[in-house]
Amino acid sequence: MNIPNSIREFHRAVRSIPGGVNSPVRAFKSVNADPIFISHAKGSQITDIDGNTYTDFVSSWGPLILGHAYQPVIKAIEEAASKGTSFGAPTVIESDLAELIKKMVPSIDTVRMVSSGTEATMSALRLARGFTGREMVVKFEGCYHGHSDSFLIKAGSGVITLGLPDSPGVTIGTAKDTLLARYNDLESVEKLFSKNGENIAAIIVEPVAGNMGVVLPGPGFLKGLRELSHKYGAVLIFDEVITGFRLARGGAQEYFDITPDLTTLGKIIGGGLPIGAYGGKKEIMEMLAPKGSVYQAGTLSGNPLSMAAGFTMLNELNENPEIYDELERKAAILERGIKDNLEKTGVKAVVNRAGSMMTLFFNEIEGVISSFEDAMQSDTEKYAGYFKLSLQNGIYLAPSQFECTFISRAHSEENISKAITANLEALQQLK
Ligand code: KE4
């Protein structure tokens, strides 16, 4: 890889920014490589500051389901910006986006906009605690819900990517209220409830896990969580920051036909601008200030530029549901091609896919990867080699074994075919 400008800029960045990046996973540490600095992107193509162009399967970690610099989104942002960037006062576009979210996700009676997925999940937990008067939360090993203290316990994404089983700075007082269960293991949840049921405010779950790599819910898992939360009076929170509007117009809850009490959202609903949101049952949401007593606020919540970008992107998805069939078709072709390549080369790996999100695990497990424990048996060194070979072949993948490959509408058949060829070349060098 010829990236002298990125290397120079990284050496510059580390002098002013911790680790040279504003989010850890971007540092390429777990793939033992120097990070590339991006100049620009359009559609499925992303170009670094050395002029190397790649087909992008990171999609800014999920938001860009219609591809980079999608013209109607850019136009909406330009028009909004020309009228001012932030007012700290209500605007019409906030209701436009809130109503569209309600229409696409019927379990959401009202929704509060915030500026990140972390803010959304942190606020949803506070709301669930305020609504139930209880203190504990059940989360799952390997699931990542952003970096608020209560969730940095055996979290996924950058926490496992950097091998941090949990984070310094999270107090014992906080950690004691976070109970850990195993994904796809209902018994592990039932045990927690039988012991602490009367003090568990909420279960929070990624309905399809994307932060230990893609791990799908097994048959009955989500339904079992729904039943348990009903039985014990806990709030069921679906963290759909990744799956929302990605797996279906109504997200994972439509895809699996399970209705949570609260849903957290992000990524796609901001069209690539800073965003988060949480919403759900009216009786719960009404506890939020200023109507209720649970406090949450934000200077840039409902920012008109993020609202304009998000509304434009969601509206496109809502009015063109055939997009999901197209994403499914393209992702299935990529999955099939990779599986054929694994057959051809004999490389031991597992492909997990849900719609247009997937992960190739370099893992010798026989059968399905269905838990954090399974995923953690993956060979991260081999993934690092695969990542670098792919990059050399013009394919930009997540710089971590424990993230997602995202397919967008902007990926052409040719892009997918090229990715399958590049995958074969990389696997042949790895075997
Ligand atoms: P943000 O605070 O990063 O907007 O959202 C946090 C979050 C919450 N819930 C889920 C299911 C998420 O996946 C995320 C953030 N995802 C990671 C990557 N898997 C963001 C990338 C990064 O941290 O740089």
Q: Is 145 in the pocket of ligand 1 (CB under 6 A)?
A: yes
Q: Amino acid letter at 344?
A: K
Structure tokens at 324: 């999901």
Q: Is the CB of 117 under 6 A from ligand 1?
A: yes
Residue 172 has pLDDT above 90, yes or no: no
The residue whose CB lies within 8 Å of the most ligand 1 atoms, and thus the one to mutate among 28, 118, 303, is 118
Q: How far is CA 42 from CA 38, 79, 167, 407, 417, in A?
A: 12, 20, 36, 14, 19
Compute the mean pLDDT over every residue in the chain, rounded to the nearest whole number.
Answer: 96
Looking at residue 167, what is its pLDDT? 84
Instruction: Give pLDDT, residue 159.
Output: 75
Is 83 noted as a catalytic residue in this protein? no
Q: Which CATH class is domain 71-319?
A: alpha beta
Residue 183 bears catalytic tag: no
Is 267 among the catalytic positions?
Answer: yes
- Please tell me if the CB atom of residue 250 comes closer than 6 angstroms to any atom of ligand 1: no
Q: 5-69+321-430 adopts what CATH topology?
A: Aspartate Aminotransferase, domain 1 (3.90.1150)
Residue, of 164 and 191, whose pLDDT is higher: 191
Atom 1 in ligand 1: residue holding the nearest Cα: 117
Residue 158: band (very low, low, confident or very high) from pLDDT cuts 50, 70, 90:
confident
pTM: 0.97
In sequence order, the 6+-apart residues with CB closer than 8 A to the CB of 68 are 41, 42, 43, 44, 45, 46, 56, 60, 272, 410
Q: For the chain, which residues make up each domain, given as ranges?
A: 5-69+321-430, 71-319
**Order of all β-strands in the sheet with 262-266:** 110-114, 276-280, 262-266, 235-239, 200-205, 136-140, 178-181
Tell me: pLDDT of 312 over 90. Answer: yes
Nearest CA, atom 21, ligand 1: 61
403 CB within 6 A, ligand 1 = yes
CA of 117 to the centre of ligand 1 (A): 6
Distance from residue 32's CA to the centre of ligand 1 (Å)? 22
365: pLDDT confidence band, cut at 50, 70 and 90? Answer: very high
Pair 279, 285: CB distance under 8 Å: yes
* Cα 131 to ligand 1 centre (Å): 25
Ligand 1 atom with minimal separation from the 266 CA:
4
Q: Would you give the DSSP letter of residue 198?
A: G
Confidence of residue 163 (pLDDT cuts 50, 70, 90): low
- The pLDDT of residue 162 is 65
Structure tokens at 96: 């436009």
Residue whose CA lies nearest to ligand 1 atom number 23: 23
Q: Pick the catalytic residue: 56, 239, 261, 374?
A: 239
pLDDT band at residue 334, thresholds of 50, 70 and 90? very high
Contacts of 386 (CB under 8 A, 6+ apart): 360, 362, 397, 426, 427, 430
Mean per-residue pLDDT, 378-395? 98
The catalytic position among 54, 70, 144, 386 is: 144
Rounded average pLDDT over 338-358 = 98
Calculate mean pLDDT across residues 22-39.
96
